[in-house]
Structures are given as C-alpha cells and as structure tokens.
Structure 1
Amino acid sequence: MKTESNTTSTAPSDTDGGPRPDTHGMVVIHRGLRREARLLAELVAAVAPGDTARAAVLAAHFRDYRLGLHNHHHGEDEHLWPVLLGRVDLEAEVVLRMEAQHERVAGTLAAAEAALPAWESTAGEAERDRLAAVLAEHRAVLVEHLDDEEAELLPLAARHLTVAEWNRLGEHFVAATPKPKLLLFLGLVLEEADPAERSAVLAGLPLPGRLLWHTVGRPLYARTTRRVRG
C-alpha cells in the first residue's frame, strides 16, 4: 500500500527524456504532518494534571506519529538525497540543506521521546508543560523544513528523477512500516486531501488496498481520531 503519489506528467525529465514524476503527492503528505505536529502540541498542553489515561492515549499517538515521520524521512535519506546529489551541481546546496534539516527534526523528535515517559506515567503539570514546549519546537523545525522542501527540493526531484526512482520513496515507506499502521497513515494523508488529491492517492493503491481502506481503514481512522482528539 503506497502513500506517496505515483502519478506522472507528460513532460520529459532531465534524466532520460521520459515522463517525470508528479511530486504533488508529497505536498499532500506534508499537509497531514503539519496538522498532526500542531495537534500533538495543542492536545498535550490541554491535558489536565493527573489524567494518566489521557496521557497514555496521546503518548501512543506520538509514537505512531514519530514512526510515520521517521520512515518518511528515512526513505528520503536513502532514495532521494543520494540520487539528486549525483545529478545536480550548484543546486547541491539545497539537497545538503535538506539533509541538515532532517537532523534537526530528528533531534526534536528525540527530545520529545525523552520527555514523554515522565509525563505519561504521572501526567504531572510540570512534565506536561515541558513536553508541550518540546513538541512546539518540533513543529516549528518541521514546518520550516517542509516549507523549504516544497519550494526548493520538489522542483529538483521533478526535473532530475525518473518515475521509478520517485516511487521508491513510497515503496520504502510500505516496506518499513508495520502493516497494521499503514491504514492509519493513509488516513492521516487523506484527511485534508481534496477530491482530486484523494483520487490520485487511492489510484496508487492496488485494488485490495483500496477495498481495505474503504471497508476497514476509513472506520478505523475515524475511531482513532475521535479517541486522540477527544
């Protein structure tokens, strides 16, 4: 089940003269990441002191979010940056900046993970406020990176990657993610997609995957968001 877009445009690529990837699917994914990063900080900050049941729900959601973001970024580290660095010249600075931003994002995720257990076990006010501050910093760093990637990096990918190379990002995500979590992440992507974007994402799934989303994934995601968002 792929969560990256694998549609193509008819314009030739700079690599082989063939069709080049439509990178807009990454923008749809980023929309979900921005939303979840914002909600995590807001929802944690709103938990009443001592409410360990609510803390447990949000801690589990953070771990799911962290898994999805890690696998998304790891796919870029493995399959995007090395290919682009081999094909660009002056624009290599853009790729190297993306790599450095990934390190900063990973650092904020590690800080949140380190602050999580103390709050999860006690739901203490001081522990809550510390975690909420770390999550707010994570969101700021993440949004800066996603904005920069969409403005500077995606046009490079569209010019210099083949469709098959671009699709490896989605293939990597699927291979690295536990199967029960794929429907959750698909829901995160589709939540704010417009009809055309939703159609494009679902068209990239095999027929069994589309059926599984409609019969199992959509109600599962609805239940999950109700639980997480209260």
Structure 2
Amino acid sequence: MSIDFTAMYASHDAFRRDLERLAQAVADGRADAPGVRAGWENFKRQLHIHHTAEDSDLWPRVRERVAGRPRDLALLDDMEAEHSRIDPLLDAVDTALADGAPELPDLVRALAATLDDHLKHEEDSALPLMQEVLTAADWGAFTGRMREVQGLRGASVFVPWIVDGAPAADRAAFLGTMPPPVRVLNRLFWQGSYRRRGTWAGA
C-alpha cells in the first residue's frame, strides 16, 4: 500500500507561500504590520513542529530500514544537516525583523532559498525513499506523532493555515485527507477564527 504524501506536499507549499508573503511585506515596508508578525510567528511554529517530528520520529525510522545502504544513509544525513542550516537563518531573520535591520531583505531571500532547496531535495529524493521502505503503519505512526504534538488547539490553526490561499484543487485534496469531524470543525469554526486573527494581513 502506497503512502499518501498529500499533507506533506501541502505543508511544503504552505511554508513556501509564507516566505513569499514575508518577502513581499518586507519589500513593501510592511514587515512590522501585526498580521505579518503573526504570520511569521506561526510559520516558525509550524516549521519547528514539522522538522522536529522528522528528526525525532521519521528519519530514525527510515534509517532503520536502510541500514547497510550507504547512499541512502548519506541522504538522511543530508536531511538532518539541511535542517541545521535553516535554524540560524530563522534566528537571523527574527533578529532583523525586531531591529528593522537593513539586511532583512537579503536574509529573507537566503532563508527562502535554503528552505526551498531542502524541500525540493526532500520531495525529489527522501519521499521516494520513504515510499520504498516505509509501511503505511510507519507513516501513520509519524503523522500520529504530529497530531499529538499539535493537539486540538494546534490543529485549529494548522488546518486553516495549510489551505489559506491554496488553489481550490489543492485545498480539496488536503481536506480530503482529514477525518470528517476535522473538516466539519474547520468549516464551522476554525476557518473563521483563523481569518479573525488576521494572519498575514498587510502582506
């Protein structure tokens, strides 16, 4: 049984979209808008949860399956090393946003390029490897860990964040992976609450 990576791709698209919004806000001189700062804070939180779960629950699981396969083990080393290169850039953008530093546009571009390179590498190489060596149960354990970390409160932000501004087909595909109660909660409560927060308003 193949693994459905719809939610993974949707998360990656949301990360890229948020950094595009940040770059536009910085270019327009609106980086200090409350909605932009709220969007940045949520971006950092979602990326931290995503990468922490990969480092603690996903890559070790894949590593067990590819023991004795040097090329695949090197790929996993690359995944972890790429995560470690992103963290200092997050901190640098954070500091530049707080200080209004003139290097902010360059730092945002560097972060966007570094993260995009990592996401492409993961999509082109790591996801096919996972499809090969992991079972549906393995993937379920990983996504279950993600849900556990997010909790219901986190899910109430995560789900509308993913579909915020997504093309209709992508939105439908992602929501189709969610249990029916989650789709109902999102439609009746979470979407409206997310919009009222004004996340990325002004971007």
Pick the TM interval, shorter chain. 0.7 to 0.9
Partner of 1:122: none
Which of 104, 115, 133 pairs up with 1:142?
Answer: 115
String of CA shifts for 1:28-62, please: whole Å, max 9, x gaps. Answer: 221111111121122123126xx95x2x3322221
String of CA shifts for 1:99-129, please: whole Å, max 9, x gaps. Answer: 111111112112122223223xxxxxxx2x3
Distance 1:115 1:45, change over 3 A: same
List structure 1 runs of 4+ shifted beyond 6 angstroms.
none
Which of 82, 85, 89 pairs up with 1:108?
Answer: 89
Question: Within 5 Å, which residues of 2 pair with 1:110-129?
Answer: 110-119=91-100, 127=101, 129=102
Q: Which amino acid aligns with 2:122?
A: E
Distance 1:25 1:177, change over 3 A: closer
Partner of 1:58: 36
Deviation at 1:27, TM superposition (A): 1.6
The answer to whether the 8 Å contact 2:14/2:161 transfers is yes
1:25 aligns with 2:7: yes
Which of 45, 54, 64 pairs up with 1:76?
Answer: 54
The answer to whether the 8 Å contact 1:32/1:188 transfers is yes
The answer to whether the 8 Å contact 2:21/2:200 transfers is no
Distance 1:176 1:114, change over 3 A: farther
Partner of 1:13: none
The answer to whether the 8 Å contact 1:115/1:131 transfers is yes
If you compute each CA radius of gyration, which structure gives the higher value, 1 or 2? 1
Deviation at 1:188, TM superposition (A): 2.9
Alignment partners' CA distance in 2, 1:171 and 1:85: 19
**What value does the CA root-mean-square deviation take over the aligned residues?**
2.4
Q: Which amino acid aligns with 1:25?
A: A
TM-score (norm 1): 0.76
Deviation at 1:139, TM superposition (A): 0.5
Partner of 1:133: 106
Alignment partners' CA distance in 2, 1:24 and 1:94: 22
Partner of 2:184: 211
Which of 151, 155, 174 pairs up with 1:182?
Answer: 155
TM-score (norm 2): 0.85
Among the aligned pairs, what percent are the same residue?
27
Alignment partners' CA distance in 2, 1:93 and 1:206: 36
Question: Within 5 Å, which residues of 2 pair with 1:148-159?
Answer: 148-159=121-132
Q: Which amino acid aligns with 2:148?
A: A
Alignment partners' CA distance in 1, 2:151 and 2:14: 19
Partner of 1:201: 174
Q: Which amino acid aligns with 2:81?
A: A
Partner of 2:25: 43
Q: Which amino acid aligns with 2:39?
A: H
The answer to whether the 8 Å contact 1:115/1:130 transfers is yes
**Corresponding pairs, count:** 199
